[in-house]
Amino acid sequence: MVGGAFLLVTCEHGGNRVPKEYRALFAGRESLLESHRGYDPGALALARALARAFDAPLVASTVTRLLVELNRSPGHPQLYSEVTRRLPRSEKARIVARYYEPYRREVEQRVAQAAAARRPVIHISAHSFVPVLNGSTRNADIGLLYDPARAAERALCARWSQSLGARSSRLRVRRNYPYRGYADGLTTHLRRRYRGRGYAGIEIEVNQKHVLGGEREWRMLREALVQSLGDVVDGEAR
């Protein structure tokens, strides 16, 4: 808990591990697994730092998103990758039952328990993005994704952006960039379930140039992100 709120940290793309029974399916796809298509480098380290700093529960997956995409809804065309999309329906159902549903269920249960106790929930979902995609340079260091229609999320991201800027003026922080925070995803799903003001879901996106730029730089950025979030939640507690 932080300032009376329940803080939950999740990481949907924390690793590129392939379960043993599917290794043959991924044979020869090592470069794909190591790419941003396979996982989000740095996301798990950030999620762990946030959870540790605020004594918050962490729900994380280290199974590659190429097996099943935890940040997409059932029926979404990107739920399965090109590696798994053409598997028999029964096998895809098995993957969902073993790797997708338990993860989503644990997150939902954590939020439901806080909601039942009438505690506001701040859900931080940790991600990272490649500096250049399809030839276009992403001109941001940090992205904060949220639903602009939800006042609590809008205000939280405004304060977090301001605090980050005060702590490191060189960081370029953009909101709803490089993706829209209200597109299909885990936070969007939870917003639909908790339409009131008790749930705030924020996806934080870190430019991978910082993750891969050296351990010292990456550690300092993690510390700035933790400290700036502390500024925000401390402000809400007062």
Q: Output the domain CATH number for residue 76.
A: 3.40.630.40
The per-residue pLDDT for 234 is 74
- Inside any domain, residue 199: yes
pLDDT tens digits for range 168-199? 889 999 999 999 999 999 999 999 999 876 99
- Inside any domain, residue 1: no
pLDDT tens digits for range 92-129? 999 999 999 999 999 999 999 999 999 999 999 999 99
**What single letter denotes the amino acid at residue 196?**
G
Share of the chain above pLDDT 90, in %: 92
The per-residue pLDDT for 2 is 59
Paired tokens of 105: 């269920």
- Inside any domain, residue 76: yes
Please count the helices (runs of H) and the strands (runs of E) in the chain. 8, 8
Question: What's the structural domain count of the chain?
Answer: 1
DSSP H/E element including 193: helix 186-193
Q: Which residues of 167-192 are buried (b: 16+ CB within 10 A; e: fewer)?
A: ebeebebbbbbbeebbebbbbbbbbe
Residues of the chain with pLDDT under 70: 1-3, 197, 235-238
Residue with tokens 């229609």: 149
Do the strands 132-133 and 136-137 form a parallel or antiparallel pair, or are they unpaired?
antiparallel
Domain residue limits at 23: 6-237
- Inside any domain, residue 48: yes
- Inside any domain, residue 75: yes
- Inside any domain, residue 171: yes
- Inside any domain, residue 182: yes
